[in-house]
A and B are shown apart, each in its own frame.
Chain A
Amino acid sequence: MGHSRHADPPQPPQPPQIERRIELPAPQVVGVAILFLIPLAALLGVFDRSSRDEHAEVAGLEVHLTYPERMRYHQSGSIEVTIRNTSAYRSDSMRVTFDPAYLERFASVTFAPSADEAYSVALPGLDPGRERRVRVDLEADRGGRQRGWVQVEAGPTGHAELPLRTFVFP
């Protein structure tokens, strides 16, 4: 029973080496490019939630709308309408109405302040320099492009309509 001792372990025959280079057939190059494009686009934020702003002026009121431009399925978002009185006078009472067809494509829709009519919120008049905000929280429930509008009415003549365009990734 002879126990032999070696400093380095023996090595089996090694394979001959080739010049290592990457050679991909053309269809695979296309497939790989697409494969890498998806995470790259994700890193650049293409699939991330984003919001969009719209502005309008109506009867001495400045209307600022923020709404989700891109969302993912089941992701939460919110629409905010901020109305600021930029005139020197107290404004008439206002009404903010959201497109029912647009909101029906979302789930868990809640209004703050509460809607007094379907998809419509009444606001009292505003003193000069003051602002009020209407917020609608919602959850994306249907993939694809969703289009709608928000109407702001102030007094008998003031009227503005702002677009809502949201893309929901499935």
Chain B
Amino acid sequence: MEAVLRVAFVYILLLAAFRVMGKRELGQLSPFELVVLILIPEIFSDALVGGDHSMTAATIGGSTLLALVFLTSVLSHRFRGFQRLVEGQPTVLVHDGRFCEREMNRTRVQPDEVFAHLRAAGLERLSQVRWAILEEDGKISVVPRDPDEGVDQSRDEDIHA
């Protein structure tokens, strides 16, 4: 019984912690942040097994974790509100060639990071972007403007507050 409760507690704790940390932490890990992330299982491993290193305890812990992951995915699929609670929502970083400054500050995304994704998408100027969106998984999606649309290069430094 204790193993189930320990795993459930750590699962909920980590779920909440990652939601609080924000999407950026998931998608844009620096080498140091990666090391910190690797330390988490090291810290929790002893607390999870509670000194019980039997195969039974490992089976109970593993199946509890997988059952919680499955339950979370089922609830996320069934209830949109739960999905938003657990996964968050996409955040618009650029709209019609303008930075959304408030959203960028909230998600701690630098203009340089957005431009790196623009270049990866084959774009060089902000004015070429219809949408740049920080997705729920922390990745930045870039939707270019229609090439037939007139590109107003004066927008390259525009900012949505």
Interface residues of A (CB under 8 A from B): 1-6, 9-12, 17, 20-22, 32, 35-36, 38-39, 42-45, 47-48, 72-75, 169-170
Contact = CB atoms under 8 A, between A and B. Distances in A.
B67 A169 contact: no
Given A3-B158, A72-B57, A169-B56, 15 more contacts: A4-B98, A5-B161, A6-B161, A9-B160, A10-B92, A20-B77, A22-B77, A38-B67, A47-B56, A47-B60, A72-B52, A73-B53, A74-B52, A74-B54, A170-B56
Given A35-B67, A72-B54, A9 B1 contact: no
Contact of B4 (A4, A10, A11, A42): A42
Contact of A38 (B60, B78, B133): B60
A45 B92 contact: no
B48 to A, nearest CB: 13
Nearest to A3: B159
B124 to A, nearest CB: 19
Nearest to B5: A43
Contact of B54 (A1, A2, A39, A170): A170
Q: Which 10 pairs of residues, A with B, have the shortest CB-CB distance?
A: A169-B56, A38-B63, A73-B54, A10-B95, A39-B64, A72-B54, A5-B161, A42-B60, A39-B4, A170-B55
Interface in B75-95: 77-80, 90-92, 95
Interface string B104-128: 0000000000000000000000000
Contacts of B4: 39, 42-43
B90 A12 contact: yes
B46 interface: no
A4 B158 contact: yes
A42 B63 CA distance: 10
Contacts of A48: 1
Contacts of B143: 12
Contacts of B133: 12
25 contacts: A2-B154, A3-B159, A4-B158, A4-B160, A9-B95, A10-B95, A10-B96, A12-B90, A12-B95, A12-B143, A17-B80, A22-B77, A35-B67, A38-B64, A39-B60, A43-B1, A45-B1, A47-B56, A47-B60, A72-B52, A72-B56, A72-B57, A73-B53, A74-B53, A170-B55
